[in-house]
Amino acid sequence: MSDNSDCLSVTCQASPNIALIKYWGKRNEELILPDNDSLSITLDLGELHSDTTVSTSSSMTCDTFYFDGIQQTKLSKRMQKVLDEVRRRAKNDQIKFVEIRSHNTFPASSGLASSASAYASLAIALTKLFNLENPQSTAAYLARIGSGSAVRSVYGGFVRWSSEGECLSSCIYPVEHWPELRLIILIFNSSKKPVSSTDAMQRTRETSTLFQARLSTVNDKIEKLIQAIKIKDFNTFAKIVMMDSSQFHAVCMDTYPPVIYLNEQSKHLIDLVHAFNKTDENETMKVAYTFDAGPNPFCFIREEHADEFLSLLKHFYPSNNDNDNVHKQVSNIDGNFSSINLPIMANALERIVLTKIGSGPKII
Ligand SMILES: Nc1ncnc2c1ncn2[C@@H]1O[C@H](COP(=O)(O)OP(=O)(O)OP(=O)(O)O)[C@@H](O)[C@H]1O
Ligand SMILES: C[C@@](O)(CCOP(=O)(O)OP(=O)(O)O)CC(=O)O
């Protein structure tokens, strides 16, 4: 915490988390209580993160929010709700107003979980600034009322968000548990999604008949997935994760009017991953994908297969721009992909992010 005259300030850095079993549906909109448990991996802070600085001083006359250095005309209802809850819990009632400055290293609102890293960093920074009691559970509560999925970014490693009791999150395995696991994020399209997750999940609840069927499958999937993670069984892990992603998008399609987040490139990548997995003579899965509310896949892979998969991506998604950095990390291994009968999609990728599981947020 920095203290300049009577101005106190705290900065927190947090990363997005990627849901392995998706959260979709709220039984209480105001408190953001989910319909189902969900499970995620928190990303390493290295590539994708939100940095949020919160400050307070006696001279402030209102709450202010700067996003990427630009002052916003007003705070969102969610942000205001978080600040009001903090003031309610704070012992020091001299502290009246807060200035928030936040920046993401990646595009917001495009299905890359920006609201998760944003609200987790905000919640942790506020908890520290106001010296709130029970800091971990308080930060989780504040993050959750900002954006449901943010409750999982408060912790590192593999995280479960419970839909029962206090509806808080907990780390089920720390970052060290499965160090060879890597994430390759393919950014096909970073534009703003057509329907926000908040609106879409409400619409699903009101109209989808598949939604209830999905809910009845989630707990069983979570238990099986936890067991697969425990013994690092990638085959089972991959199948459960890909099937939950597809089920979530099927539910979005069953929503009326339908919500379609996947695009042509997403469908191509799905076919590519299955074709690539089939090339293994032992039928061992090498890659798994999942998509949040957007067209950009998060691919899970063990380190030993990462180079081959990257060369596959270079083959199927070549870039015509010599100066671009999309493939700059890609090794020059030439794989033989002649058995994969899929079209080549030139210039499909805006960016590739290579990352791994992270240890959670930090105060900086
Ligand atoms: N650094 C930030 N500080 C405050 N609010 C932010 C920040 N980054 C993103 N947001 C807000 O988060 C919301 C975007 O969340 P939304 O859930 O729609 O998209 P997403 O998080 O990118 O995707 P998803 O969670 O579906 O994977 C927007 O309201 C945006 O203004
Ligand atoms: C598809 C998801 O990414 C949906 C995330 O939804 P949000 O957490 O962004 O929604 P709100 O709680 O309304 O803010 C799945 C997931 O992260 O579990």
| CATH number for position 251 | 3.30.70.890
Counting from 1 in the atom list of ligand 1, the atom nearest the Cα of 293 is: 26
Q: Last residue of a domain, which of 115, 139, 174?
A: 174
Residues 186, 269, single domain; the answer is: yes
Nearest to 105 by CA among 135, 75, 68: 68
DSSP 61-113: -S-EEEETTEE-SS--HHHHHHHHHHHHH-S-TT----EEEEEESS-SSSSS-
Residues 146, 91, single domain; the answer is: yes
CA of 198 to the centre of ligand 2 (A): 7
Q: What is the pLDDT of residue 321?
A: 65
Over residues 77-94, the mean pLDDT reads 89
CA distances from residue 107 to 48, 102, 200 in whole angstroms, order as listed: 10, 13, 20
Over residues 71-100, the mean pLDDT reads 90
Range of the domain at 352: 181-356
CA-closest residue to ligand 2 atom 5 = 149
Residues 276, 159, single domain; the answer is: no
* Mutation choice for ligand 1 from 78, 79, 115, 292, CB with most ligand atoms inside 8 A: 115
Which uninterrupted H or E stretch holds 42?
strand 38-42
Residues 339, 291, single domain; the answer is: yes
Q: Give the separation between CA 108 and CA 113, rounded to whole angstroms.
A: 8
Q: Last residue of a domain, which of 114, 140, 174?
A: 174
The C-alpha torsion from 271 through 272 and 276 to 279, rounded to 10°, is 60
CA of 158 to the centre of ligand 1 (A): 21
* Mutation choice for ligand 2 from 149, 196, 225, CB with most ligand atoms inside 8 A: 149
Q: Which residues line ligand 1 (CB under 6 A)?
A: 50, 67, 102, 104, 108-116, 118, 149, 196-197, 292-293
- Joined together, the tokens standing for residue 35 give 């319909």
CA-closest residue to ligand 2 atom 2 = 292
pLDDT at 150 exceeding the cut of 80:
yes
Specify the CATH number for the domain of residue 167.
Answer: 3.30.230.10
CA-closest residue to ligand 2 atom 12 = 148
Q: pLDDT band at 109, cuts 50/70/90?
A: confident
pLDDT tens digits, residue range 21-59?
A: 999 999 999 999 999 999 999 999 999 999 999 999 989
Question: Has residue 286 been placed in a domain?
Answer: yes
Strand partners, 161: 38, 169
Q: Is 246 helix (H, G, I), strand (E, B) or coil?
A: helix
Q: Give the separation between CA 231 and CA 281, rounded to whole angstroms.
A: 23
CA of 280 to the centre of ligand 1 (A): 38
Question: Has residue 296 been placed in a domain?
Answer: yes
Q: Give the separation between CA 145 and CA 119, rounded to whole angstroms.
A: 9
Residues 186, 167, single domain; the answer is: no
Angle between helical axes of 234-253 and 210-230 (0-180°, round to 10): 160
Q: Provide the domain count of the chain.
A: 2
- Joined together, the tokens standing for residue 298 give 């998060």
Question: Has residue 361 been placed in a domain?
Answer: no
CA of 267 to the centre of ligand 1 (A): 24
Q: How many CB atoms lie within 10 A of CB 5?
A: 8
* Mutation choice for ligand 2 from 22, 23, 247, 290, CB with most ligand atoms inside 8 A: 23
Q: pLDDT band at 333, cuts 50/70/90?
A: low
Question: Has residue 55 been placed in a domain?
Answer: yes
CA-closest residue to ligand 1 atom 5 = 118
Specify whether the CB–CB gap between 269 and 298 falls below 8 A: no
Q: What is the pLDDT of residue 120?
A: 98
pLDDT at 247 exceeding the cut of 60:
yes
Q: Which residues line ligand 2 (CB under 6 A)?
A: 19, 22-23, 32, 38, 113, 115, 147-149, 197-198, 292-293
Strand partners, 51: 13, 103
The C-alpha torsion from 292 through 352 and 326 to 194, rounded to 10°, is 10
Specify whether the CB–CB gap between 284 and 301 falls below 8 A: no
Residues 78, 156, single domain; the answer is: yes
pLDDT tens digits, residue range 264-276?
A: 999 999 999 999 9
Q: Give the separation between CA 331 and CA 344, rounded to whole angstroms.
A: 19
Between β-strands 70-71 and 64-67, what pairing exists: parallel, antiparallel or unpaired?
A: antiparallel
